[in-house]
């Protein structure tokens, strides 16, 4: 498998926005990206695009090196404050500006992360669009996942210059750890540390582990940066152990465990002149695989595991919902959509509508496709001056 390399062009764009998510009455300065990755592969732009390179939001991105043995990379175990680049650094919530701002609200809540403010924020909305406020602040809120019962969050994030601790300063925030947030205590635990980039966060149905798509071992070889991965990985909440899943020679993204039969659903990605995506299902016991959908990506299950919502690249990146067996397929968005997440009762889907590469609105449609052409917009990224990259729907007691 070809090793992924990247040439970084760092821009001197500054973020001069107050902490926290925007509100409908607030006005903020337009924010630019602080680094642009020029990659060897060209693909779709935006939060789901493969041209993410070393530091982008890479739910469905990647063209990495052989991953080697099916064992997780070792996380740093030394005390915080090791020498920069020597592999001994262990981050703390304080070192990445991670803090609980307010308790996670009860009831049905849509959580989303906002890249616009400094620090970034995880914010809460009601399904009718009522803004509930900030829940968590962190220097860089890269990826977001929530357990089915809303008791825990998994946040992918770090500092903007985290690469300095791992000998890859030019990659800036390519290093992204996994932080576990306990809603009952409002405390954080480092679940996935080390020289890694964890993305695509999703909890297993039993809530015992977090799934990520992981890259690791970022390093400079000659004049190019290289790394290992992408691979689907399972991070055990009780032990902190990381287990790589699936074929070591396959790029596996957007992992999700079926609540119905325990199979691993994931986005297969390869770049052979142009990017190609497939949604596949893998029996983790036998290794047998089934093609669920060609030219598609980012499968997310309904709570009962009977259906999934996914991005259909053969249909203009519109979101589709269908049964695991392929039955009852409907188109649920009339435009391109990203990151679909079912409501707890499975009747609706929240998703991002990427109006531009830096402005994605949060919208809701019914899962039967009845209002595909008339979605309910519950958060306007332009009005709120936000850069939204994830939205997940939870229900808490």
Domain residues of the chain, as ranges? 5-396
Whether the bond between 92 and the residue before it is cis, its omega within 30 degrees of 0, is no
153 contacts 176 by C-beta, under 8 angstroms = no
The backbone region for 334, taken as left when phi is positive above 0, alpha when psi lies in -120 to 50, beta otherwise, is: alpha
- Considering the four listed CATH numbers 2.120.10.30, 3.40.50.300, 2.40.110.10, 3.60.20.10, the one that applies to the domain covering 5-396 is 2.120.10.30
114 contacts 124 by C-beta, under 8 angstroms = no
Tens-digit pLDDT string for the chain (397 aa): 333 333 333 222 333 335 688 754 433 333 322 322 222 223 333 334 433 334 344 443 333 323 233 333 333 333 343 445 566 899 999 999 999 999 999 999 999 999 999 999 999 999 999 999 999 999 999 899 999 999 999 999 999 999 999 999 988 889 999 999 999 999 999 999 999 999 999 999 999 999 999 999 999 999 999 999 999 999 999 999 999 999 999 999 999 999 999 999 999 999 988 999 999 999 999 999 999 999 999 999 999 999 999 999 999 999 999 999 999 999 999 999 999 999 999 999 999 999 999 999 999 999 999 999 999 999 999 999 999 999 999 999 9
How far, in Å, are 96, 172, 235, 362, 378 from residue 359 at the CA level? 25, 23, 31, 10, 14
Six-digit token pair at 5? 């390399």
Q: How many CB atoms lie within 10 A of CB 224?
A: 14
Distance CA 109, CA 79 (A): 37
> At a CB cut-off of 8 Å and minimum separation 6, what does 83 contact?
none
Helices (H) and strands (E) in the chain, counts: 1, 27
Residue ranges in the chain assigned as alpha helix (H): 381-384
């Amino acid at each position: 498998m070809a090793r992924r390399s990247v040439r970084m062009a760092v821009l001197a764009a500054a973020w001069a926005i107050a902490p926290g998510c925007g509100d409908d009455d607030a006005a903020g300065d337009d924010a630019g990206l602080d680094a642009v990755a020029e990659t060897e592969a060209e693909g779709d732009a935006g939060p789901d695009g493969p041209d993410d390179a070393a530091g982008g939001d890479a739910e469905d991105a990647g063209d990495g090196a052989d991953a080697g043995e099916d064992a997780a990379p070792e996380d740093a175990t030394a005390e915080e404050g090791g020498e920069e680049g020597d592999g001994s650094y262990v981050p703390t919530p304080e070192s990445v500006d991670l803090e609980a701002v307010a308790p996670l609200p009860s009831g049905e809540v849509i959580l989303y992360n906002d890249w616009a403010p400094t620090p970034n924020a995880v914010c809460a909305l009601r399904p009718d669009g009522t803004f509930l406020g900030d829940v968590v602040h962190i220097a860089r809120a890269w990826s977001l996942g929530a357990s089915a019962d809303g008791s825990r969050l998994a946040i992918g994030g770090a500092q903007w210059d985290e690469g300095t601790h791992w000998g890859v300063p030019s990659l800036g925030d390519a290093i992204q750890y996994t932080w576990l947030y306990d809603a009952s205590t409002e405390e954080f635990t480092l679940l996935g540390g080390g020289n890694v980039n964890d993305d695509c966060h999703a909890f297993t149905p039993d809530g015992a582990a977090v799934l990520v798509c992981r890259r690791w071992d970022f390093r400079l070889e000659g004049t190019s940066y290289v790394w290992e991965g992408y691979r689907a990985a399972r991070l055990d909440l009780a032990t902190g152990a990381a287990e790589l899943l699936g074929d070591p020679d396959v790029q596996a993204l957007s992992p999700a465990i079926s609540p119905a039969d325990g199979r691993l659903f994931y986005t297969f990605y390869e770049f052979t002149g142009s990017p190609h995506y497939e949604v596949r299902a893998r029996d983790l016991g036998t290794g047998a695989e089934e093609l669920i959908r060609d030219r598609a990506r980012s499968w997310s299950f309904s709570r009962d595991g009977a259906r999934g919502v996914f991005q259909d690249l053969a249909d203009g990146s519109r979101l589709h919902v269908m049964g695991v067996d392929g039955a009852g397929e409907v188109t649920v968005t009339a435009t391109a959509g990203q990151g679909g997440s079912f409501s707890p009762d499975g009747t609706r889907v929240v998703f991002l509508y990427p109006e531009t590469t830096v402005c994605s609105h949060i919208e809701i449609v019914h899962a039967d496709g009845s209002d595909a052409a008339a979605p309910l917009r519950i958060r306007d990224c332009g009005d709120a001056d936000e850069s939204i990259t994830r939205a997940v729907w939870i229900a808490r007691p």
